[in-house]
Amino acid sequence: MRFLYGADDLVEGWAGDAADLVHAAQQRFPGKPFCLVRQWILIDVVANEGKLSPADVPPMVIFAHEVVQDSRRRFEPGHWVRTTYAVSQPDQCMFETRSTVYLLLGDGYRKKATLDVVFSLHP
């Protein structure tokens, strides 16, 4: 699928040690589960028609080809993950949903897609 593998806007993620990023997330979001991912795409969800989400929730999701570590062990290392909508993105290396902080290792891409495309994504 061209969406997954075609180049778009490059976004810098965390270039340092993963343990340092985990520590930063635990300081910023004490007690909140985290999921380290790499080979990720930040997707700005665009509407075909109608409203996507409440005005205070950014219509963004992350699709990651590789889970490195999930603190709650919901996702096995090496598997892919697609998040729910963001509730915040405090910096380029952290993406917060209601239940989890996704920690973005290495560089990724920023793309636009409709919700239909987002729900069809898998590696």
Q: Which residues of 8-23 are buried (b: 16+ CB within 10 A; e: fewer)?
A: eeebebbeeeeeebbe
- 108: tokens are 């990724």
Question: What pairs with residue 108 in β-bridges?
Answer: 11
Q: Model confidence over 25-63: pLDDT tens digits?
A: 999 999 999 999 999 999 998 876 555 554 555 589 999
- Provide the pLDDT confidence category of residue 74 given band limits of 50, 70 and 90: very high
Which sequence spans correspond to the domains of the chain?
8-120
Q: Model confidence over 76-105: pLDDT tens digits?
A: 999 999 999 899 888 889 999 999 999 999
Contact criterion met (CB below 8 Å) for 35 and 70: yes
Higher pLDDT, 119 or 110: 110
Judge residue 71's burial from the number of C-beta atoms within 10 Å of its C-beta, 0-12 exposed, 13-18 middle, 19 or more buried. middle
Report the distance separating Cα 34 and Cα 45, nearest Å: 23
pLDDT at residue 100, rounded to an integer: 97
